[in-house]
Homo-oligomer: A and B are copies of this chain.
Amino acid sequence: MNKPAKPPLHRDVEAFLRTGMELATSDRGELALSLAAKALAEVPGDPRMAAFGRLVSSHQVPKFHHGMLRDTQRNQLYRKAIERLAPGRKVLDIGTGSGLLAMIAARAGAEKVIACELNPMLAATAREIVAANGLSEKITVIGRHSGMLDRNGDLDGGADLVISEIFSDDLLGESVLPALKHARQELCAPGAIFIPDSAEILVAAVEFSGSSMALGEVEGFDLSLFERHLGPVRTFNPASANIALSSDPRTLFRFDFNAADYPALSRENEIDLGIPTAATNGLAQWIRFTLAEGIVYENRPGSARATHWPVRFTPLGPHTNPIRNDLRIGGWHNAEKLAIWPLID
Protein backbone atom coordinates (compact mmCIF):
# COMPACT_ATOMS: atom_id res chain seq x y z
CA MET A 1 0.00 0.00 0.00
CA ASN A 2 1.37 3.38 -0.98
CA LYS A 3 1.43 6.21 1.50
CA PRO A 4 -0.88 9.05 0.47
CA ALA A 5 1.13 11.76 -1.26
CA LYS A 6 1.71 14.86 0.85
CA PRO A 7 -0.07 17.87 -0.65
CA PRO A 8 2.33 20.27 -2.36
CA LEU A 9 3.25 23.25 -0.21
CA HIS A 10 1.45 25.73 -2.41
CA ARG A 11 -1.86 23.95 -1.76
CA ASP A 12 -1.66 24.62 1.97
CA VAL A 13 -0.55 28.20 2.29
CA GLU A 14 -1.49 28.53 5.94
CA ALA A 15 0.70 25.58 6.94
CA PHE A 16 3.53 26.83 4.71
CA LEU A 17 3.47 30.30 6.26
CA ARG A 18 3.13 29.03 9.82
CA THR A 19 6.05 26.62 9.47
CA GLY A 20 8.15 29.10 7.50
CA MET A 21 7.69 31.91 10.01
CA GLU A 22 8.49 29.60 12.91
CA LEU A 23 11.69 28.49 11.18
CA ALA A 24 12.57 32.09 10.24
CA THR A 25 12.76 33.04 13.90
CA SER A 26 14.35 29.81 15.16
CA ASP A 27 18.01 28.85 15.38
CA ARG A 28 17.50 26.93 12.14
CA GLY A 29 16.52 29.97 10.12
CA GLU A 30 18.31 28.72 7.02
CA LEU A 31 15.59 26.05 6.75
CA ALA A 32 13.03 28.83 6.22
CA LEU A 33 14.90 29.80 3.05
CA SER A 34 15.04 26.14 1.91
CA LEU A 35 11.32 25.77 2.50
CA ALA A 36 10.56 28.88 0.44
CA ALA A 37 12.87 27.70 -2.35
CA LYS A 38 11.27 24.25 -2.35
CA ALA A 39 7.76 25.68 -2.54
CA LEU A 40 8.75 27.90 -5.44
CA ALA A 41 10.43 24.96 -7.21
CA GLU A 42 7.08 23.12 -7.23
CA VAL A 43 5.55 25.94 -9.28
CA PRO A 44 8.57 27.58 -10.94
CA GLY A 45 8.24 31.29 -11.57
CA ASP A 46 4.84 31.47 -9.88
CA PRO A 47 4.42 35.03 -8.59
CA ARG A 48 1.89 33.88 -5.99
CA MET A 49 4.32 31.41 -4.42
CA ALA A 50 7.11 34.00 -4.68
CA ALA A 51 4.96 36.44 -2.68
CA PHE A 52 4.39 33.83 0.04
CA GLY A 53 8.10 33.01 0.10
CA ARG A 54 8.84 36.70 0.57
CA LEU A 55 6.47 36.83 3.57
CA VAL A 56 8.56 34.07 5.15
CA SER A 57 12.03 35.42 4.34
CA SER A 58 11.19 38.94 5.52
CA HIS A 59 9.49 37.74 8.70
CA GLN A 60 10.81 39.75 11.67
CA VAL A 61 13.85 41.01 9.77
CA PRO A 62 14.33 44.63 10.93
CA LYS A 63 13.30 47.19 8.30
CA PHE A 64 16.39 49.34 8.92
CA HIS A 65 18.55 47.11 6.68
CA HIS A 66 17.33 48.78 3.49
CA GLY A 67 18.16 52.34 4.54
CA MET A 68 21.42 51.27 6.15
CA LEU A 69 22.70 49.40 3.10
CA ARG A 70 21.80 52.35 0.86
CA ASP A 71 23.49 54.89 3.20
CA THR A 72 26.32 55.82 0.83
CA GLN A 73 28.15 57.98 3.37
CA ARG A 74 28.20 55.16 5.92
CA ASN A 75 29.35 52.62 3.34
CA GLN A 76 32.13 54.81 1.94
CA LEU A 77 33.57 55.80 5.32
CA TYR A 78 33.56 52.21 6.58
CA ARG A 79 35.24 51.19 3.29
CA LYS A 80 37.96 53.82 3.74
CA ALA A 81 38.71 52.68 7.30
CA ILE A 82 38.60 48.99 6.37
CA GLU A 83 40.83 49.47 3.32
CA ARG A 84 43.39 51.19 5.55
CA LEU A 85 43.37 48.64 8.37
CA ALA A 86 42.31 45.24 7.00
CA PRO A 87 45.24 44.27 4.71
CA GLY A 88 47.07 41.27 6.15
CA ARG A 89 44.87 41.09 9.24
CA LYS A 90 42.56 38.38 10.52
CA VAL A 91 39.20 40.16 10.65
CA LEU A 92 36.08 39.56 12.74
CA ASP A 93 32.92 41.31 11.46
CA ILE A 94 30.27 41.39 14.21
CA GLY A 95 26.66 41.51 12.96
CA THR A 96 27.48 41.17 9.28
CA GLY A 97 23.89 41.21 7.95
CA SER A 98 24.29 41.06 4.16
CA GLY A 99 28.05 40.45 4.49
CA LEU A 100 28.94 43.87 3.05
CA LEU A 101 31.69 44.95 5.48
CA ALA A 102 33.19 41.44 5.49
CA MET A 103 33.41 41.53 1.68
CA ILE A 104 35.03 44.97 1.76
CA ALA A 105 37.63 43.59 4.19
CA ALA A 106 38.29 40.50 2.03
CA ARG A 107 38.65 42.56 -1.15
CA ALA A 108 40.98 44.97 0.68
CA GLY A 109 43.40 42.12 1.40
CA ALA A 110 42.47 40.74 4.80
CA GLU A 111 44.27 37.47 5.51
CA LYS A 112 40.95 35.92 6.49
CA VAL A 113 37.49 37.15 7.51
CA ILE A 114 35.13 35.60 10.04
CA ALA A 115 31.68 37.19 9.87
CA CYS A 116 29.02 36.44 12.45
CA GLU A 117 25.31 37.16 12.31
CA LEU A 118 22.89 36.20 15.05
CA ASN A 119 19.95 35.66 12.66
CA PRO A 120 20.71 32.28 11.02
CA MET A 121 18.39 33.07 8.09
CA LEU A 122 20.35 36.25 7.32
CA ALA A 123 23.62 34.38 7.86
CA ALA A 124 22.57 31.83 5.20
CA THR A 125 21.89 34.65 2.74
CA ALA A 126 25.20 36.37 3.60
CA ARG A 127 26.92 33.07 2.77
CA GLU A 128 25.16 33.02 -0.62
CA ILE A 129 26.04 36.66 -1.27
CA VAL A 130 29.69 36.03 -0.39
CA ALA A 131 29.71 33.08 -2.83
CA ALA A 132 27.98 35.11 -5.57
CA ASN A 133 30.73 37.70 -5.20
CA GLY A 134 33.49 35.06 -5.40
CA LEU A 135 34.78 35.50 -1.86
CA SER A 136 33.88 32.17 -0.21
CA GLU A 137 37.52 31.16 0.22
CA LYS A 138 38.35 34.24 2.26
CA ILE A 139 35.16 34.66 4.30
CA THR A 140 33.50 32.31 6.78
CA VAL A 141 29.97 33.30 7.80
CA ILE A 142 28.84 31.94 11.18
CA GLY A 143 25.14 32.05 12.09
CA ARG A 144 25.61 32.81 15.78
CA HIS A 145 25.85 35.82 18.07
CA SER A 146 29.46 36.92 18.63
CA GLY A 147 29.00 35.99 22.29
CA MET A 148 28.74 32.35 21.17
CA LEU A 149 32.02 32.31 19.23
CA ASP A 150 35.18 30.56 20.39
CA ARG A 151 38.61 32.18 19.99
CA ASN A 152 40.32 28.96 18.98
CA GLY A 153 37.57 26.97 17.34
CA ASP A 154 36.07 29.80 15.30
CA LEU A 155 38.78 32.45 15.17
CA ASP A 156 41.95 30.43 14.83
CA GLY A 157 43.53 31.97 17.93
CA GLY A 158 41.96 35.41 17.80
CA ALA A 159 41.09 38.35 15.52
CA ASP A 160 43.56 41.15 14.74
CA LEU A 161 40.85 43.55 13.58
CA VAL A 162 37.25 43.72 14.81
CA ILE A 163 34.74 45.56 12.62
CA SER A 164 31.23 46.29 13.77
CA GLU A 165 28.32 48.42 12.72
CA ILE A 166 25.59 47.47 15.14
CA PHE A 167 24.79 51.00 16.28
CA SER A 168 21.27 52.33 16.83
CA ASP A 169 20.31 56.02 16.85
CA ASP A 170 21.04 56.21 20.58
CA LEU A 171 24.21 54.19 19.91
CA LEU A 172 23.42 51.52 22.51
CA GLY A 173 20.16 49.85 21.50
CA GLU A 174 21.66 46.86 19.75
CA SER A 175 23.84 45.98 22.77
CA VAL A 176 27.06 47.00 21.06
CA LEU A 177 28.89 47.70 24.35
CA PRO A 178 28.74 44.18 25.82
CA ALA A 179 29.36 42.65 22.37
CA LEU A 180 32.55 44.66 21.79
CA LYS A 181 33.73 44.15 25.38
CA HIS A 182 33.31 40.41 24.97
CA ALA A 183 35.11 40.52 21.62
CA ARG A 184 38.03 42.46 23.15
CA GLN A 185 38.36 40.05 26.07
CA GLU A 186 37.51 36.71 24.47
CA LEU A 187 37.92 36.83 20.70
CA CYS A 188 41.03 38.89 19.99
CA ALA A 189 44.72 38.27 19.50
CA PRO A 190 47.02 40.58 21.49
CA GLY A 191 47.20 44.08 20.00
CA ALA A 192 43.94 43.76 18.04
CA ILE A 193 42.34 46.99 16.79
CA PHE A 194 38.71 47.96 16.40
CA ILE A 195 36.67 49.82 13.78
CA PRO A 196 35.18 52.18 14.89
CA ASP A 197 37.99 53.52 17.01
CA SER A 198 35.48 55.53 19.07
CA ALA A 199 31.84 56.56 19.21
CA GLU A 200 30.16 59.54 20.86
CA ILE A 201 26.67 60.52 21.99
CA LEU A 202 26.28 64.24 21.23
CA VAL A 203 23.70 66.67 22.61
CA ALA A 204 22.71 70.26 21.80
CA ALA A 205 19.86 72.63 22.62
CA VAL A 206 17.58 73.11 19.61
CA GLU A 207 14.72 75.17 18.30
CA PHE A 208 12.08 72.92 16.82
CA SER A 209 9.74 74.82 14.51
CA GLY A 210 7.46 72.05 13.22
CA SER A 211 3.95 71.36 14.42
CA SER A 212 3.53 70.85 18.15
CA MET A 213 4.93 67.57 19.42
CA ALA A 214 2.71 67.54 22.50
CA LEU A 215 -0.64 65.77 22.48
CA GLY A 216 -2.40 68.24 24.78
CA GLU A 217 -6.03 68.63 23.72
CA VAL A 218 -7.52 66.36 21.05
CA GLU A 219 -11.14 66.74 19.92
CA GLY A 220 -11.85 68.76 23.04
CA PHE A 221 -10.40 66.21 25.49
CA ASP A 222 -7.24 66.58 27.53
CA LEU A 223 -4.94 63.72 26.51
CA SER A 224 -1.77 65.09 28.09
CA LEU A 225 -1.57 62.16 30.53
CA PHE A 226 -0.93 59.89 27.56
CA GLU A 227 2.37 61.70 26.86
CA ARG A 228 4.19 59.46 29.33
CA HIS A 229 3.71 56.47 27.05
CA LEU A 230 5.11 58.19 23.96
CA GLY A 231 8.74 57.94 24.99
CA PRO A 232 11.10 60.71 25.95
CA VAL A 233 12.06 61.33 22.32
CA ARG A 234 10.79 61.73 18.79
CA THR A 235 13.10 61.15 15.83
CA PHE A 236 13.91 63.38 12.85
CA ASN A 237 15.81 63.17 9.62
CA PRO A 238 18.97 65.20 10.33
CA ALA A 239 18.37 67.10 7.06
CA SER A 240 14.98 68.34 8.39
CA ALA A 241 14.50 72.09 8.08
CA ASN A 242 12.35 72.04 11.24
CA ILE A 243 15.21 71.67 13.67
CA ALA A 244 18.08 74.15 14.26
CA LEU A 245 20.84 74.03 16.88
CA SER A 246 20.58 76.76 19.52
CA SER A 247 23.73 75.85 21.45
CA ASP A 248 27.11 74.37 20.62
CA PRO A 249 27.03 70.56 20.55
CA ARG A 250 28.68 68.77 23.46
CA THR A 251 29.71 65.16 23.91
CA LEU A 252 27.64 63.54 26.66
CA PHE A 253 29.32 60.13 26.48
CA ARG A 254 32.39 58.94 24.58
CA PHE A 255 33.37 55.30 24.02
CA ASP A 256 36.98 54.51 23.08
CA PHE A 257 37.02 50.99 21.73
CA ASN A 258 40.80 50.92 21.26
CA ALA A 259 41.70 52.30 24.70
CA ALA A 260 43.39 50.13 27.33
CA ASP A 261 40.50 50.77 29.72
CA TYR A 262 37.40 49.37 28.06
CA PRO A 263 34.34 51.71 28.14
CA ALA A 264 32.12 51.14 31.18
CA LEU A 265 28.76 49.50 30.48
CA SER A 266 26.95 52.03 32.69
CA ARG A 267 27.77 55.67 33.49
CA GLU A 268 26.22 58.97 34.48
CA ASN A 269 27.43 62.41 33.37
CA GLU A 270 26.51 66.09 33.37
CA ILE A 271 27.36 68.69 30.74
CA ASP A 272 26.78 72.43 30.37
CA LEU A 273 25.26 73.76 27.14
CA GLY A 274 25.62 77.45 28.07
CA ILE A 275 22.76 79.93 27.83
CA PRO A 276 20.41 78.81 25.05
CA THR A 277 18.26 81.10 22.90
CA ALA A 278 14.81 82.09 24.14
CA ALA A 279 13.19 79.94 21.44
CA THR A 280 14.95 76.78 22.61
CA ASN A 281 12.28 74.12 23.11
CA GLY A 282 14.16 70.86 23.17
CA LEU A 283 17.32 68.79 23.13
CA ALA A 284 18.72 66.96 20.14
CA GLN A 285 20.83 63.83 20.52
CA TRP A 286 22.81 62.26 17.72
CA ILE A 287 25.92 60.10 17.20
CA ARG A 288 29.45 60.42 15.86
CA PHE A 289 31.85 57.63 14.96
CA THR A 290 35.56 57.99 14.40
CA LEU A 291 36.04 54.87 12.28
CA ALA A 292 39.82 55.35 12.10
CA GLU A 293 41.99 58.45 12.51
CA GLY A 294 40.46 61.23 10.41
CA ILE A 295 37.52 59.14 9.13
CA VAL A 296 34.44 60.53 10.87
CA TYR A 297 30.71 59.92 10.44
CA GLU A 298 28.17 62.17 12.15
CA ASN A 299 24.40 62.64 11.72
CA ARG A 300 24.42 66.19 13.12
CA PRO A 301 21.17 68.14 12.59
CA GLY A 302 21.58 70.36 9.55
CA SER A 303 23.77 67.77 7.80
CA ALA A 304 23.27 68.16 4.08
CA ARG A 305 24.16 64.51 3.38
CA ALA A 306 21.53 61.84 3.72
CA THR A 307 21.98 59.29 6.49
CA HIS A 308 19.83 56.47 7.78
CA TRP A 309 20.39 57.34 11.46
CA PRO A 310 17.75 59.79 12.69
CA VAL A 311 18.36 62.56 15.21
CA ARG A 312 16.49 62.13 18.51
CA PHE A 313 14.54 65.09 19.92
CA THR A 314 13.46 65.46 23.57
CA PRO A 315 11.01 68.33 24.19
CA LEU A 316 11.72 70.67 27.11
CA GLY A 317 8.83 71.66 29.35
CA PRO A 318 7.30 75.14 29.04
CA HIS A 319 8.94 76.21 32.34
CA THR A 320 12.34 76.28 30.63
CA ASN A 321 11.37 79.11 28.31
CA PRO A 322 12.81 81.71 28.54
CA ILE A 323 15.99 80.42 30.15
CA ARG A 324 18.24 82.99 31.82
CA ASN A 325 20.94 80.64 33.09
CA ASP A 326 23.09 77.87 31.74
CA LEU A 327 21.23 74.82 30.51
CA ARG A 328 22.87 71.83 32.12
CA ILE A 329 22.12 68.31 30.89
CA GLY A 330 22.20 65.10 32.86
CA GLY A 331 22.67 61.78 31.12
CA TRP A 332 22.84 58.12 32.02
CA HIS A 333 23.31 54.95 30.05
CA ASN A 334 23.62 51.28 30.68
CA ALA A 335 24.27 48.44 28.23
CA GLU A 336 21.05 49.08 26.32
CA LYS A 337 19.28 52.30 27.35
CA LEU A 338 20.05 56.01 27.31
CA ALA A 339 18.32 58.69 29.40
CA ILE A 340 18.82 62.46 29.04
CA TRP A 341 17.30 65.20 31.20
CA PRO A 342 17.62 68.97 31.61
CA LEU A 343 18.94 70.40 34.90
CA ILE A 344 17.76 73.99 35.02
CA ASP A 345 19.48 76.37 37.45
Report A's interface with B, CB cutoff 8 A: 13-14, 17, 33, 36, 47-48, 50-55, 57-58, 61, 63, 65-66, 69-70, 75-76, 79, 97-98, 100, 103-104, 107, 121-122, 125, 128-129, 132-133, 211, 213, 215, 218-223, 225-226, 228-232, 234, 266, 330, 332, 334, 337, 339-344
Contact = CB atoms under 8 A, between A and B. Distances in A.
Contact of A339 (B52, B65, B225, B334): B52
Which of A98, A221, A342 has the most C-beta atoms of chain B within 10 angstroms of its own C-beta? A221
Contact of A125 (B98, B222, B229, B344): B229
Contacts of A103: 221
B229 A58 contact: yes
A219 B75 contact: yes
A109 B16 CA distance: 48
Contacts of A266: 14
A231 B58 contact: yes
26 contacts: A13-B332, A36-B228, A47-B341, A47-B342, A47-B343, A48-B339, A52-B332, A52-B339, A55-B232, A58-B230, A61-B230, A65-B226, A65-B229, A66-B213, A66-B230, A69-B215, A76-B219, A97-B226, A98-B223, A100-B218, A104-B221, A125-B229, A129-B222, A129-B226, A132-B222, A133-B221
A75 B218 contact: yes
B337 A55 contact: yes
A243 to B, nearest CB: 17
A343 B230 CA distance: 42
Contacts of A33: 228
A130 to B, nearest CB: 9
A133 B222 contact: yes
Given A226-B65, A228-B58, A129 B221 contact: yes
A341 B229 CA distance: 38
Nearest to A130: B221
A70 B219 contact: no
A125 B47 contact: no
Given A50-B341, A51-B339, A122-B229, 4 more contacts: A55-B337, A57-B229, A69-B226, A100-B218
A47 B223 contact: no
B219 A58 contact: no
Contacts of A234: 66
Contact of A70 (B215, B225, B228): B215
A59 B51 CA distance: 33
Contacts of A230: 58, 61, 63, 65-66
A125 B70 contact: no
Contacts of A340: 51
